[in-house]
Structure 1
């Protein structure tokens, strides 16, 4: 099937940005603050608030670049995700931000009252602090609904690591960089040095947000982190030691005059693929031809292929609407409910039907399991990529659905695990992380209510799912313990351990029964639980010393028939 061609609009977007007044207005405020600083005695003020119009507020930061490594900070712990458990910030930027903390706290409170456009901007290290302040404003979302901050930096060095790169607020940051400014790549290794290991791809400084890269020839926007990082390395190595006093005002005026798209027809002739042609055109516009990039170990064709693959994946994901996907998930869950109901006819329950794979119907269920697992693994991955507060809000909406999915589908995973007779200990050796997280989040966020009476649960018990989604894993381990005890090769130590496990299993099962937390289908004649009971009952009847427990009494007096 022919693929729809992709196009790169980086030049058009860049021209649109510079043609607007927002970027130029932000730079004007920075110049005003810089002039005020030179006129004032120490200590200087590193930021100022401007109101160029009744509907626009600009907060400008300025400071000279500083050296520094990456360090963690409790102030930005809210950026942590399940996937990236730490976020490190440039020491110089963090030190300056911390020194201004009291003043910025007052400003943050004042900004909660404004309406209209809010621009946070800064130059050099001031741009780094502007980025940190913008992130800090976004935490908790205390601003008015129509006052979403937008951050514009000029010649700002990178401020964070891989964790910051995956911030969900990337679209709110625009970084303006000249190809003659060494400061943005200040903390990067030489552009001529290729990565030495895969570890280097996830450590050290990483770009985030959109970059507007500028040259005398024109400008272009990029948001692909690997390409941005490579270009910053090239700039840093080629202009290192040069002047850091880049005239961004002159650059913006020049670009505004060139805002009419003229194109580079010779590029289009060399490439049949419009996406590749667009990227090459944009790079040549800002002074990066393929020869120069290769000199710095950047194979632009490889980078473009990765960019195109990611763009196509995103396009394909967007084609499947959420509504359609949810309908498919509901359909698969309905099919499993029907499978569970029909399995009772065979007197063994859906867990054992799936484990035994006795009919074509059981094989069809495998596809439902795969579909549902793929969907929920994706949902959990989305939560892991969000900052903790955002993730908590996101997952609360899905807690109940995730709980039902886990209780319905995880038993099928357990059945598939123990179908292989060589496998043991599913909970530690086979359980998927997404099940663990769904259970953890549910237990953290859902508290039992006083009205959740046992009598009410008893009335509904006939249709419930077993609450512990790992119940059947405990059953399978109990069966293995019984088989080991009956084995002639069982050592004294193994026997003691197996017996202790069985005693604990008895207590666990009776606790679940007492809470009406298990489905009645566990007592069906051909279920694995009843298989365990047959093995265990035979073993305890042959023991010289009698053993009694509430579970044994419950089972031997057939109270479980009343439970059903």
Structure 2
């Protein structure tokens, strides 16, 4: 219960009421991109920015069936899956509207002014104004990262009746970046709008354009219902279509939650497109009787969006169909007493009572208020169970990587590297030659260590680890140490067996996910754009590739290769040498790579002068001699 109260403590009851007021006020000036008000009484002082909604179909669906597109990574570089480097999908119409707002300097100017003055920005919106508030918040979080040292205050987003906006990667990325808690979505129990984008535009025919006019709070309810005799049936049919599609999405989702595959559902999914949109952030479901149910688990939120609007009888369809639009138009009235907020955290979801046992405790009453059936409660347990299993999987991986056995193998490889250096040979070259038992034992350790990281990669691929996993500093550090020590051995093994002849270069065809993913983790943590070419752990692959290209320098110069090839090769050589210099200065690459007779030095010494123009490895050798 204390966590539930934290919702109002975090943003304040007064702040929520102000957000509600401004969200509705924005509807009165749809010609403006947003309205702004400042509150200088608080600490920190606050700036409210509210966006108007639109009832036009083109501002909801840009194309069939669902209108999703990759998010603009120039504006939102963090909204991606780090490992796979896949951009989140977002509603194209919503993104287009936000880009249009941002193309004019007004919003950026106001945000910069507030952030420079250490004021807290509260973005808010109702209906399709909410996605603008969401994207503005994410854009601000990207552009003005908050740290303890800079004293800035992160923005907050408060939405009312917001439609869904992004796919599972969108939700995954916001949790990974620890941004989810900055988003509060208030939803009335029957409000249709948070469920609309679970349906393709094609399922509505002409009904969406007619019903969407009703999303505008300025539209007159009585005139809407009396414009034609069949208008009420439009809302009933509209509600039925949305909930029918929501049923398909949630049923398919829950089959994955419980780890079973229903052949019928899979067949439907193959032939009938399912909505990609998923919830994210904190949801506050308003039951209509003064109770507010707070939940953060996105899988559980999706199930509640469907089951809380379920009907007991067919006779209720017409009544609830109209109510689903009326609730969207109703200005939210919140009861801020402590007893009126029920927080369904992980522990509560795991212990959800499957039936109404007559209990009068807050949680039991909350489930009754939302009208959740035994099946709905079972689905919520499944959502909690999946999250629990993800945490257990991470803990199990952590136990393995922290184990004495794992650490011993890492230390043995580090010892192997030092021993080879004492023998005046780079461990990359020693491993590639495989001339001693020490090399054989190093290969055994390489394979054993790779097995654990491959297991981690497989769990990442199937989303069996928490969303926050790739962003945790401890895993970034574990992965960095492993990659820098072990990947050179993988490169050496690849070229030792001449796999490049049939398969192609290591970087194009041979590099395992365990290195691609973990390199991206580090680059993301350090705020770098993904290099993708090569890093300090696999620069040997670039050396091998360039060595192959330049091993017959005479034929290259004598027109077997055209000038463009020569120029590109010279540029690659210069870039590689510059990077090696930086890596050694930053102590992320050891000086053994510069030992006489190493693959690097042999290659460099064999290069004709035209490849060395503008580059010098002498500074690197000098660097080695002075350390």
Q: Same fold (TM over 0.5)?
A: yes
Q: Does 1:225 align with 2:214?
A: no
Change (3 A) 1:202 1:115: farther
Task: Say whether the 8 Å CA contact 2:293–2:342 is kept in structure 1.
Answer: no
> Is the Cα contact below 8 Å between 1:213 and 1:221 reproduced in 2?
yes
Would the alpha carbon gap of residues 125 and 164 (structure 1) be closer, same or farther in structure 2, given more than 3 Å must change?
Answer: same
Deviation of 1:311 after TM superposition, in Å, equals 2.8
User: Which of 333, 336, 346 is 1:250 aligned to?
Assistant: 333
- Give the total of aligned pairs: 454
SS, match of residue 77 in structure 2: helix
CA distance in 2, matches of 1:262, 1:377: 32
Which position in structure 2 is the counterpart of 1:184?
194
2:383 to 300, 303, 324: 303
2:411 match:
331
Q: Rg: which structure is higher?
A: 1
The 5 A counterparts of 1:42-191 are 43=31, 46-51=34-39, 53-55=41-43, 56-64=45-53, 66=55, 67=57, 68-69=60-61, 70-71=68-69, 72-73=71-72, 76-81=75-80, 83-85=85-87, 87-92=89-94, 94-95=96-97, 98-99=100-101, 101-141=104-144, 145-165=151-171, 166-167=173-174, 168=177, 169-189=179-199, 190-191=245-246
Q: Distance in 1 between matches of 2:133 and 2:411?
A: 48
Structure 2 counterpart SS, 1:206: coil
- Distance of 1:171 and 1:470 partners within structure 2: 43
8 Å contact from structure 1 (residues 406, 469) kept in 2: no
What is the Cα deviation at residue 104 of structure 1?
1.2
Q: Residue deviations 1:493-551, cap 9 Å, x none? A: xxxxxxx99xx9xxx9xx99xx897754569xxxxx9xxxxxxxxxxxxxxxxxxx98x
Deviations 1:362-404 (A, max 9, x none): 235422454378669979x99xx9xxxx99x999999997885
Q: For residues 343 and 37 of structure 1, do their structure 2 counterparts lie closer, same or farther at Cα, with a shift above 3 Å needed?
A: closer
Asked whether the 8 Å contact 2:35–2:50 carries over to 1, the reply is yes
Aligned to 2:540: 468
- Selected match of 1:211 from 283, 304, 307: 283
- SS for the counterpart of 1:115 is coil
Is this contact kept in 2: 1:177–1:214, CA < 8 A?
yes
CA distance in 2, matches of 1:131, 1:281: 32
Q: For 1:459-498, what aligned pairs fall within 5 Å after superposition?
A: 468-469=540-541
Once the two structures are TM-superposed, the CA of residue 57 in structure 1 deviates from its matched residue by 0.5
DSSP 3-state at the match of 1:88: strand
Task: Give me the whole-angstrom Cα distance separating, in 1, the residues matched to 2:420 and 2:292.
Answer: 61
Q: Counterparts of 1:405 and 1:199 in 2: how far apart (Å)?
A: 47
Q: Is the CA contact 1:217–1:287 (under 8 Å) kept in the aligned structure 2?
A: no
Separation of aligned partners in 1, 2:489 and 2:271: 36
Q: What do the CA deviations read for 1:187-227 (whole angstroms, capped 9, x no partner)?
A: 11322213344899996222222223332484443333222
How far the C-alpha of 1:309 sits from its partner, in A, is 0.5
Output the CA distance in 2 between the equivalents of 1:348 and 1:417: 14
Give the conservation status (yes or no) of the 8 Å contact 1:417–1:430.
Answer: no
Cα 1:164–1:35 shift into 2, 3 Å: closer
2:449 corresponds in structure 1 to 371
Shift of 1:111: 1.0
**How many angstroms apart in 2 are the aligned matches of 1:269 and 1:302?**
10
Question: For residues 111 and 494 of structure 2, what CA distance do their matches in structure 1 show?
Answer: 51
Q: Partner residue of 1:559?
A: none
Report the aligned-residue RMSD: 6.1
Conserved? CA contact 2:160–2:185, under 8 Å: yes
SS class of match (2:163):
coil
- Consecutive unaligned residues of structure 1, counting only runs of 5 or more, are 1-10, 272-277, 447-463, 479-499, 524-528, 530-548, 551-564
Residue 418 of structure 1, CA deviation: 6.0
Distance 1:286 1:370 in 2: 54
Partner of 1:7: none
**Which residue is equivalent to 1:274?**
none
TM-score by length of structure 1 reads: 0.59
Cα distance in 1 for partners of 2:541, 2:5 equals: 56
SS in 1 for 2:283: strand
Quick one: distance in 2 between partners of 1:282 and 1:374? 46
**1:120, CA displacement in angstroms?**
2.5
CA distance in 2, matches of 1:174, 1:44: 24
The 8 Å contact of residues 210 and 223 in structure 1, kept in 2 or not, is answered as yes
For residues 279 and 197 of structure 1, do their structure 2 counterparts lie closer, same or farther at Cα, with a shift above 3 Å needed? farther
In the TM superposition, residue 428 of structure 1 has moved relative to its aligned partner by 4.8
Whether contact under 8 Å (1:158, 1:206) holds in the other structure is yes
CA distance in 1, matches of 2:342, 2:382: 30
Q: Is the 8 A contact 2:198 2:275 kept in 1?
A: no
